[in-house]
Amino acid sequence: MDDQNEGQNDDLQRDPKQWPSGREHMSEAQRIELEMLSNQTGEPTFDENLTKAEASEKIEELREEAGIDDTVDDTDTVLGDDE
């Protein structure tokens, strides 16, 4: 793994509150995932004004509740790549 990718992996493992962009409004991808997870778990609608860090923590919480293993890389499925 090159140094640039290694640094990105470190960022992904860091506490979301420590992300430089953690205080920004959640991304559209986070909003969509929260919506899907809320529907799947029967959780009430989430706060649309979450920060990226708050959204990340809520996603992790809902994934655990839904029994979704977040160690599996399902990026291809999410993005629609079959290969």
Per-residue pLDDT reduced to its tens digit, 51-62: 999 999 999 999
Q: Which of 9, 68, 11 is nearest to 34 (CA)?
A: 68
- Residue 70 is predicted with a pLDDT of 65
Per-residue pLDDT reduced to its tens digit, 11-67: 456 676 677 787 899 999 999 999 999 999 998 878 889 999 999 999 999 999 999
pLDDT at residue 10 tops 80: no
pLDDT level of residue 71 (50, 70, 90 thresholds): low
- Residue 79 is predicted with a pLDDT of 46
Question: Could you tell me the CA-to-CA distances from 9 to 1, 27, 32 in Å, in that order?
Answer: 10, 19, 23
